[in-house]
């Protein structure tokens, strides 16, 4: 998109805007001089004063200066946190309205893509999270160094300005406390923070994950090189911090937007931490995906498995399986589970988790769902039940075609992106009807959505 460059630029001007609705990223949307304007932290029906920060051919962006007429749904933004960091985009909106907003995101996406019969879908009110704050069990903070101090935080939206986060109200106290203790140790031991300008070896990113059930903590230093001066000493001290049982190093020698490199090694303690979902245990290695809000994960899985309505004759495919949590949670109910996942370490964890839970009817394999699923279909491997839990990009054409070929009797789609879900439903509704979409909030204070979708064969 071209930025308009002329002397009549609107950038820098102040304007009074009436907010008409909210966009999928949680920003308020209004109009100014016939152009759509996006205003973060503004709420539907508010009248706000904004400073225009960006002007494009067909839209504007504005910074909220003052709320002239306030919505009754507005609440105080948490103190001591910079609202410009990601992860708190809805923290100025009361929680009931956040839940309505999330349902509306699904409604908007369905209207935009119009999959067959969408006006008739049973779109169920969003189920709220038990914890509205301090639910995130994983902190992944970029490190920086400024005026003799180590910063650990997140980048400001659309910029490379690192915001130090001494407090982060959605983060579990355990992970946040551990981060701040490690920052102090890094300062005390004068360990280098990597700076892409001089490329001196150092730590780039700090990842701290805690188990909700066992309280074990895993710390991973993502570094620019294998050898970082003083890292061993730091690992020794970190391993003595309360609850820390695993200290790992991941090496990423590339200056790209990818945070994690390929190689992960043990510095101190054990390689994994243990989490529990209901009566099942799961070990987690640093890169393996695990839901960030464990108590709400139980709610999500309960709805997904109830929607599948499994019995002992069913053969279930758990596609996009992470460390095997869904398949293992379903294993007692079914004859057999096949799982697939792209990250090798997660699959290793998943197969270990099968043993840990004394199961003999579950197996996981490494690879892309778009390769494995069509291959299973070609080989004639029988399955009659399917659960897909893809990343934000949704299902690929190959996966969609494999599903339409087998047409499993029982089918649940867990979605974390309303747009790709609505697009995928255009294809899936050739053979399936949408029985319901149950929106479930996994990420309070953010615009992120999640839903369990039950599909039934036509
Ligand atoms: C939303 S997570 C769901 C994980 C798991 N079902 C859970 O609830 O913890 C999506 C998972 O899909 C994996 N993944 C991403 N692309 C994939 C692909 N093309 N094929 C298979 N797995 C993929 C990711 O590594 C991640 O573990």
Q: pLDDT (tens digit, 9 = 90+) per residue, 266-292?
A: 999 999 999 999 999 999 999 988 999
Distance CA 366, CA 364 (A): 7
CA-CA distances (angstroms) from residue 321 to 299, 362, 365, 450?
17, 12, 10, 16
Distance 153 CA to ligand 1 centre (A): 26
Query: What's the pTM?
Result: 0.93
Angle at 370 between CA 369 and CA 376, to 5 degrees: 75
| pLDDT at position 6 | 55
Q: pLDDT (tens digit, 9 = 90+) per residue, 235-259?
A: 999 999 999 999 999 999 998 889 9
The reply to whether 98 sits in an annotated binding site is: no
Q: Which domains does the chain have, with CATH numbers?
A: 14-69 (2.40.50.140), 100-130+293-457 (3.40.50.150), 138-277 (2.40.50.1070)
Distance CA 341, CA 328 (A): 14
DSSP result, 20-65: -EE-TTS-EEEEETTEEEEETT--TT-EEEEEEEEEBSSEEEEEEE
Distance 457 CA to ligand 1 centre (A): 25
| pLDDT at position 158 | 74
CA-CA distances (angstroms) from residue 35 to 14, 49, 50, 61, 278?
15, 16, 14, 10, 50
Query: Do the Cβ atoms of 62 and 88 come closer than 8 Å?
Result: no
The reply to whether 389 sits in an annotated binding site is: yes
Distance 382 CA to ligand 1 centre (A): 22
Which residue among 294, 296, 391 is best mutated to probe the pocket of ligand 1, counting the most ligand atoms within 8 A of its Cβ? Answer: 391
Cβ neighbors of 316 (< 8 A, separation 6 or more) are: 308, 310, 327, 330, 334, 336, 337, 338, 383, 385, 386, 387
Q: pLDDT (tens digit, 9 = 90+) per residue, 110-136?
A: 999 999 999 999 999 999 999 999 999
Which residue among 137, 289, 331 is best mutated to probe the pocket of ligand 1, counting the most ligand atoms within 8 A of its Cβ? Answer: 289
Which residue numbers in the chain have pLDDT < 70? 1-7
Q: Supply the residues annotated as catalytic.
A: 416
The reply to whether 291 sits in an annotated binding site is: yes
The reply to whether 89 sits in an annotated binding site is: no
CB of 342 within 6 A of ligand 1: the answer is yes
DSSP result, 417-433: -HHHHHHHHHHHTTTEE
- Strand 149-155's sheet: what is its strand order? 162-164, 149-155, 138-146, 203-210, 217-223, 244-251, 263-269
Counting atoms of ligand 1 from 1, which one is nearest the CA of 289?
27
Strand positions, DSSP E, 129-242:
138-146, 149-155, 162-164, 203-210, 217-223
CB of 294 within 6 A of ligand 1: the answer is no
CB of 301 within 6 A of ligand 1: the answer is no
| pLDDT at position 157 | 75
Distance 450 CA to ligand 1 centre (A): 14
């Amino acid at each position: 998109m071209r930025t308009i460059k002329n002397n009549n630029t609107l950038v820098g001007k102040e304007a009074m805007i009436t907010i008409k609705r909210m966009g999928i990223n949680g920003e308020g949307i209004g109009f100014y001089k016939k152009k759509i304007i996006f205003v973060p932290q503004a709420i539907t029906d508010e009248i706000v004063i904004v400073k225009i920060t960006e002007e494009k051919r067909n839209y504007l962006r504005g910074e909220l200066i003052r709320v002239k007429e306030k919505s009754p749904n507005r609440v105080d933004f948490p103190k001591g946190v910079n609202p410009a960091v990601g992860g708190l985009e809805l923290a100025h909106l009361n929680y009931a309205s956040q839940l309505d907003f999330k349902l509306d995101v699904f409604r908007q996406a369905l209207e935009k893509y119009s999959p067959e019969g969408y006006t008739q879908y049973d779109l169920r009110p969003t189920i709220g999270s038990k914890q509205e704050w301090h639910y995130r069990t994983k902190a992944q903070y970029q490190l920086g160094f400024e005026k003799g101090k180590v910063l650990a935080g997140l980048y400001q939206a659309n910029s490379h300005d690192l915001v130090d986060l001494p407090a982060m109200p959605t983060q579990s106290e355990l992970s946040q406390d551990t981060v701040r203790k490690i920052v102090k140790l890094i300062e005390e031991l004068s360990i280098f923070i990597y700076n892409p300008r001089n490329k001196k070896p150092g730590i780039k990113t700090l990842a701290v994950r805690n188990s909700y059930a066992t309280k074990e903590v895993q710390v991973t230093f993502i570094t620019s090189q294998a050898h970082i001066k003083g890292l061993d000493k730091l690992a020794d001290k970190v391993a003595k911090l309360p609850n820390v049982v695993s200290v790992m190093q991941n090496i990423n020698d590339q200056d790209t937007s990818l945070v994690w490199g390929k190689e992960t090694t043990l510095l101190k303690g054990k390689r994994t931490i243990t989490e529990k979902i209901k009566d099942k245990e799961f070990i987690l290695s640093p890169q393996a995906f695990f839901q960030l809000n464990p108590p709400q994960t139980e709610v999500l899985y309960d709805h997904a498995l109830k929607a599948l309505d499994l019995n002992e004759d069913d053969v279930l495919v758990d596609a996009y399986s992470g460390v095997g949590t869904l398949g293992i949670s379903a294993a007692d109910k079914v004859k057999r589970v096949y799982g697939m996942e792209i990250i090798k370490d997660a699959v290793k964890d998943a197969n270990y988790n099968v043993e840990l839970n004394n199961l003999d009817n579950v197996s996981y394999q490494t690879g892309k769902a778009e390769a494995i699923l069509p291959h299973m279909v070609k080989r004639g491997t029988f399955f009659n039940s399917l659960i897909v839990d893809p990343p934000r990009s949704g299902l690929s054409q190959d996966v969609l075609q494999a599903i339409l070929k087998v047409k499993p009797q029982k089918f649940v789609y867990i979605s974390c992106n309303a747009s790709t879900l609505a697009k995928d439903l255009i294809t899936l509704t050739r053979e399936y009807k949408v029985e319901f979409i149950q929106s479930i909030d996994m990420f309070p204070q953010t615009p992120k959505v999640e839903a369990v979708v039950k599909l039934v064969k036509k």
